[in-house]
Structure formats: C-alpha cells, structure tokens
Amino acid sequence: MAKSAKKTTTKPAKTVAKPSKAKATKVQPKPVPVQKPAVKPKTPIKNESEKPKRPSRVLVKVIKKATVPKASKPAVKKKVEKITTPLQHALLPEHIKLNDKEKDDLMNKYHIQLRELPKISINDQAIRHLGIKERDIIKIIRKSPTGGTTIFFRGVVNE
C-alpha cells in the first residue's frame, strides 16, 4: 500500500492586542457659552438731537512751568542772493551777453526786432551771473558731437 502523504501547512502566528485593565472612554469637552457684548452696536445718528449727551463740565488741571526769558533775536535781514560765478556743468551751454554794438549788428543783419527773438527770463539761473537787465540779448553757444556748434540768440524779458 501506498503511503498517504499528509499536507502540513504552517499558519502565521496572530498577534492579539491585550485588553487594558481600565477602559478608555472618550471625554467630550462641554461647550462654553458665548457671552454677548454688553455694548449695543452703533446705529447711524440721523439728527443732532439723537446724539448721546456728554457732561457739560470737564475738569482740566493746569500746571504752570517756570519760564526762562529767551534772549532777544537780532533782526533778520533779507538775504539778497547774488551769484558772481557762472554755473559750470558739461550739459550747460555757454551764455554770453551781447554789448550794444553787437546787438545792433544782429538786428540789422537779420532784419528783426527784439520782440521777434525767442525769450529767456531774467531769473534764469544760467544768465543771472551776467549782470543782465531787461531788453538785453543773450548769445547761447551749444556744442554737440553730432551737430557741431550751434548759436542761438534770446531776448531777456522780466517775467
């Protein structure tokens, strides 16, 4: 007779959690009651009579401090700004005041009058050092790397 073959299977060991002695129970916190603010919400005031009344008396405490007499200040004199040196900057063109002979030659050469020239203010910073007055003519020499040298004339006005 034939031997009967027995199948042997091995089962993996099960892990069993050990029950604890004390039962764990979930404790839910009690809800905290929400307190309403004691102040009423503000409502828009429609007219002056609805404004809340304020006390008419206010207590103010005034403390006097010892004052020290200040030294008298000397009279302030107006500063007259006189510029005696010309402004020097690479981008500022050269400004020259024409004398009366050059002024007449310019007017006759181009057949123009002073009012036909472009204007420059007597308060212009570039010409203040020249000692100019109204109706003078200023010669402006601009140097440009692409355009060479260009000459412009301006009539001085008091504006």
Structure-block tokens of residue 86: 């010309």
Token duo for residue 34:
């929400």
Confirm if 108 and 101 have CB atoms less than 8 A apart: no
Q: What pLDDT digit, counting tens, does each position of 84-137 carry? A: 566 788 888 999 999 999 999 999 999 999 999 999 999 998 998 899 999 999
pLDDT higher than 90, residue 22: no
Rounded-to-integer distance, Cα 129 and Cα 151, Å: 20
User: Which strand ranges, in their side-by-side order, compose the sheet holding 137-144?
Assistant: 94-97, 137-144, 148-157, 119-121
- pLDDT at residue 142, rounded to an integer: 94
Q: What is the residue-averaged pLDDT of the chain?
A: 76
Q: Residue type at 27? A: V
Report domain extents, the chain. Answer: 94-157
Question: Minimal CA–CA distance to 107: which of 96, 95, 98?
Answer: 98
C-beta of residue 81 within 8 angstroms of C-beta of residue 125: no
Whether CATH 3.90.180.10 fits 94-157 = no
More confident residue, 135 or 2: 135
Per-residue pLDDT, 147:
87
- Tens digits of residue pLDDT in 58-76: 566 666 666 666 666 666 6
Q: Going along the chain, which residue ranges are E strands?
A: 94-97, 119-121, 137-144, 148-157
Contacts of 51 (CB under 8 A, 6+ apart): 45
> Which pLDDT score is estimated for 63?
66
